[in-house]
Structure 1
Amino acid sequence: MTKITILHNPRCSKSRETLALLQARENDINVIEYLKNPPSANEISHILSLLGLNARQLMRTKESEYKDLSLDNVNLTEAQLIEAMVNTPKLIERPIVLVNGKAAIGRPPESVLAIIE
């Protein structure tokens, strides 16, 4: 099996639950604490294409930074929204699991099972 990667925030209960679910099935997991090691714009673009989402759909719109940075402005481009996630990784929905050219958001945690089984 290809190595599983999880973009993880240890302070998030859903992220912890998803990681535990993965660890119960696989022990070769690449855990990336994305708040400490944010993905690049290219990596976020790739994740978006795997998920079939646009940038705003991957953003945590209830975070104060979303409003503070005026990211609710409908005139912002995909590139601008992606750049905001690079600069403020707290805005990225979590957790994201990547394996075998597929991606899933662990909300609920069980949703990642479809790409690892």
Structure 2
Amino acid sequence: MIQIYHNSRCTKSRECLAFIEKSGLEFEVVKYLEAIPSFEELKKIIEKLGITPIELVRQKEKIWMLNFKGKPMTDDEIIQVMVENPILIERPIVINGEKAIIARPLENINSIL
């Protein structure tokens, strides 16, 4: 089943959700700010995305800029920071089986549906 890691306050995330709804496919919405992914879940998502943990971080968020920018961190430390501060997780993330994408730009979603 398709999953969308969604933040309803994010315009891009709302656009992605509307796109998936129009597709007619079954999907599940994961409100990741409420149902925060565990360290292991986030690590698996990063593996499916085929990126490094830092590439999933919203590096312009105030929390990142004030507390973590420029500090040497391991991949595991970066993942833990995202678990503790889920607002730092880039969005929207769409997962379909073993494949995942960050739907920015929105057209990226076509590669996974």
Contact map agreement 1:7 1:97 (CA 8 A) in 2: yes
Partner of 1:88: 85
Task: Verify: 1:98 aligned to 2:87, yes or no.
Answer: no
- Percentage of pairs with the same residue: 39
> Unaligned regions of 5+ residues in structure 2, if any?
none
In the aligned structure 1, how far is the partner of 2:103 from the partner of 2:59? Answer: 17
Residue by residue over 1:60-91, the C-alpha shift from the partner in whole angstroms, topping out at 9 and shown as x without a partner, is 00000002222431x21111100000000000
Amino acid at match of 1:91: L
- Is the deviation greater in 80-89 or in 21-30? 21-30
Runs of 4+ in 1 over 4 A off after TM superposition: none
Q: CA RMSD in A?
A: 1.0
In the aligned structure 2, how far is the partner of 1:100 from the partner of 1:39? Answer: 17
In the aligned structure 2, how far is the partner of 1:96 from the partner of 1:70? Answer: 23
How many residues were matched structurally?
113
Amino acid at match of 2:18: A
Partner of 1:18: 16
> Unaligned regions of 5+ residues in structure 1, if any?
none
Q: CA deviation at 1:110?
A: 1.6
Task: Verify: 1:108 aligned to 2:76, yes or no.
Answer: no
Q: CA deviation at 1:27?
A: 4.5
Q: CA deviation at 1:103?
A: 0.1
- What TM-score do you get using the length of structure 1 for normalisation? 0.92
Q: CA deviation at 1:109?
A: 1.4
Amino acid at match of 2:77: Q
In the aligned structure 2, how far is the partner of 1:94 from the partner of 1:72? Answer: 22
Q: CA deviation at 1:100?
A: 2.0
- What TM-score do you get using the length of structure 2 for normalisation? 0.95
